[in-house]
Chain A
Amino acid sequence: MARRGAWPLWLVLGVLTLLQFYLRPRVYTGQGAPDFLLLALLILSIRSRPGTAAVAGFVVGFVADVLSPARFGAGMLAHTLVAYLAAWGRAVFFADNLLVNAGVFFLGTLMRNFLVLLLSGFVAEAVFASVTLWSTLQALTTALAGVFVVLAIRHRVDFRLEE
């Protein structure tokens, strides 16, 4: 039997993909702009089993690496780890709370950026500067966008938010 609200989630993921490849380049493509593809991955991850999340992370990382191959494989590894940890963390200790979801989006973006820079061969000072400046900004905007998305879909998709 199909899970209640399953189709709206896929619709949300599709819309987020469209936002990433149409709205984002149309409005602002700077390093601080939200990453809708990562947001879609994290939304999927916190509703899935860790194995499914890891596979989804691998696919999203593959797309990112194909489009921006600074170091092919870095995106795949980073997204796989972030998605798996998000799914595993929720299963273990995360509460279904809006702020906690925002925290997952923030930390997930920060961690993804840190791993990509590290695996792409950037030197330590560059990684530190990026994580403290642009990555933090991108993590904030992604978390903000994530909060809006969660608020918009919580009655349609099973997010089990605490009121």
Chain B
Amino acid sequence: MHRTADRSSSRRDTVLFLVCLILSAAALLTPTRWTLSFANAVRETALLPLVLLQQRAEEGRTSRALLRETMAQRDSAAITAQTVTGLRVENERLRGLLGLRTRESGSFVAAEVLHQSLPADGRTLLLSAGSRAGVHPYQPVIAPEGLVGVVSRVGPTTSMANSWAHAEFRVSAVTADGAVLGIVAPSASADPSLTVLEFRGVAYRDTVPDGTLVLTSGLGGVYPRGIPIGQVKGVRREELGWERVYRLIPMVNPGVVSHVLLLTFPAESSAAAPTDSFP
């Protein structure tokens, strides 16, 4: 009798295990756009209390450090701002002389990064701002140091961003002096703790010295011009004598960034971004 009960329990355990395995495998095989929508819906409903709790904790941790940092930045900005008026007038006059239209100024939404404990964290980031705060897909995500990534999915109170470590990340880039154009993408290793960026599509005749700052070029209409991406650190490889691929050390580590800004630009100015610059 006892043995029969044991066998029955053992069979039940095996069935439960197999059901869980099959459901997990089905989730793995389901198309990403469906699973992301589903995850978004669950995050905004059933798991919202946990997300809000984590958001409160993140704000508590960063608030003290941010206050000191903000005060230092405000002091620096106050000194810099004294020359801004003159520069703005001069810029407007020069734009008028060249026939360029007035530069559109964008706004931003601030958000906390809600880091998770899985080792894949850093490739996708959960942000504490959603559509209610004005966030929408394909908004650039930046930190004070430079580009972090782009918003991929938006819910009412949270959003997901693909960082530069994500395999699908691409951005049109240019060296700080504007001489060399290329495409920046993550290197093949794809581990957030190891990944560096590659500055691809650089013509073989162009040489980019180590330490050169690479910025977003504004081409493509997603990222405005002038956001720092990384610094060149040697040649990663050469493609058949017609292209050099440079290694870039990213300006921002998505695995540790805690506070980000999501840039908002009017639709018309995003399309015209190539001629514009990051405010």
Contacts and interface: CB of A to CB of B under 8 A. Distances in A.
B137 to A, nearest CB: 15
Interface in A2-38: 17-18, 20-27, 29-31, 33, 35, 37-38
Contact of B120 (A22, A54, A68): A68
Interface string B113-147: 01111111111101000000000000000000000
A100 to B, nearest CB: 21
Given A31-B119, A33-B117, A126-B191, A70 B21 contact: no
Interface residues of A, number: 61
A31 B253 CA distance: 12
A49 B116 CA distance: 28
Interface in B94-118: 114-118
B93 interface: no
B66 interface: no
A130 B220 CA distance: 34
A74 interface: yes
Interface in A111-153: 113, 116-117, 119-123, 125-127, 129-130, 133-135, 138
Nearest to A76: B24
A54 B190 contact: no
A23 B23 contact: no
B160 interface: yes
A106 interface: no
Contact of B21 (A24, A68, A77, A126): A77
A130 B13 contact: no
A92 B258 CA distance: 44
